[in-house]
Amino acid sequence: MELLKESLVVIHLAGMAVLVGAFIVNMKRKSDFPFTAMMWAAIVQLSTGTLLVGLSYALDDAPDNFKITVKTLLATGALVAAIIGRKRQAHGESKLQPFFHAAGGFAVINLIIAVLWNAELWS
Ligand code: HEM
């Protein structure tokens, strides 16, 4: 069970690297945004994150539900922004930067929350 959890953490961190990396590397772009990669990475984050929460309960190590709720809302926001941006880009529409920045911004905020929203750090 512990090995399964750590393997999921590896996939969760790889998904985070793709999502945040796609944003940082392409931050100066005005077109051709990597929405497809960001969409799949957000799906990976939501699914591995949900499985990690389930496993935490199975291992009697309940997570902070408020933190998980905030992370889920932000990851869902990133996914929705990536899906809308991807659809609009496929239809040749312009002004897609706000969707790219929303998806990437939500991911970066989630990364900061994941690491810094830690009770032990502030007590
Ligand atoms: C863009 C979305 C996300 C990003 C960038 C992200 C990032 C991270 C990072 C960097 C960690 C490691 C933190 C550390 O160990 O100090 C982590 C752990 C974790 N994340 Fe996420 N996450 C995201 C979405 C989610 C979602 C949606 C959920 C839940 C539904 C979730 C649940 C968890 C859990 C339970 C852990 C702890 C694993 C452990 O016990 O070591 N994450 N996340």
Q: What is the mean pLDDT of the chain?
A: 96
Atom of ligand 1 nearest to the CA of 118: 16
CA count, 13 A, side-chain hemisphere, 84:
16
User: What residues of the chain score a pLDDT lower than 70?
Assistant: none
Record the pTM.
0.95
Residue of 52, 60, 68, 118 to mutate, ligand 1, most atoms within 8 A of C-beta: 52
Q: How far apart are CA 79 and CA 72, in angstroms?
A: 10
CA 69 to centroid of ligand 1, rounded, Å: 11
Atom of ligand 1 nearest to the CA of 115: 16
Other Cβ atoms within 10 Å of 100 Cβ, number: 24
Query: Residue 123's pLDDT is what?
Result: 72
Query: Residue 118's pLDDT is what?
Result: 86
Query: Residue 65's pLDDT is what?
Result: 95
